[in-house]
Amino acid sequence: MHMETIIIVSVLSTLGAVALVSAIVVAFIKLTKKVDVNDFDKEVENIYNEVDNKVGQLNRDLEHHVTEIYQQMNGENEDIRRFVDSRCDKLDTKIQDLNNNKVSNSKQLLTD
């Protein structure tokens, strides 16, 4: 689970960095025609906010997905535990039956 978290965080970090660089490139392309510094600052701020919103949404989606997987794994783990417990109970019953048969067979030999 820890390795998956590390991989997910690194993927999200990479996506965030790529989105930020892409946003800056787009801003410069859009602003090559503009000269006003205020417009540039507003555009950079808008792009930063957009990237921040997308990264936040990715984090929320990822957290939701990880929670679903964790719950599914817990359910499957519980099913496996119940199955193994059931098999062990059946095996114990068979062993007890075999022991009881041996005891009754040995008593018959002694009485014969």
How far is it, in rounded angstroms, from Cα 100 to Cα 108?
12
What is residue 82's predicted lDDT score, i.e. its pLDDT?
95
What is residue 71's predicted lDDT score, i.e. its pLDDT?
92
**pLDDT by position in tens, the chain (length 112):** 567 777 777 777 787 777 878 888 877 777 766 556 677 788 888 988 988 888 889 888 888 998 898 899 999 999 999 999 999 999 999 888 888 877 666 555 555 4
Structure-token match 């997308």, residue found: 54
pTM for the complete prediction?
0.46
What is residue 104's predicted lDDT score, i.e. its pLDDT?
66
Asked if 54 and 41 touch (Cβ cutoff 8 Å), the reply is no
Q: In which element (H, E) is residue 74 found?
A: helix 37-111
What is residue 21's predicted lDDT score, i.e. its pLDDT?
80
What is residue 80's predicted lDDT score, i.e. its pLDDT?
94
What is residue 33's predicted lDDT score, i.e. its pLDDT?
63
The DSSP code sequence of 8-68 is: HHHHHHHHHHHHHHHHHHHHHHHHTS---HHHHHHHHHHHHHHHHHHHHHHHHHHHHHHHH
What is residue 42's predicted lDDT score, i.e. its pLDDT?
85
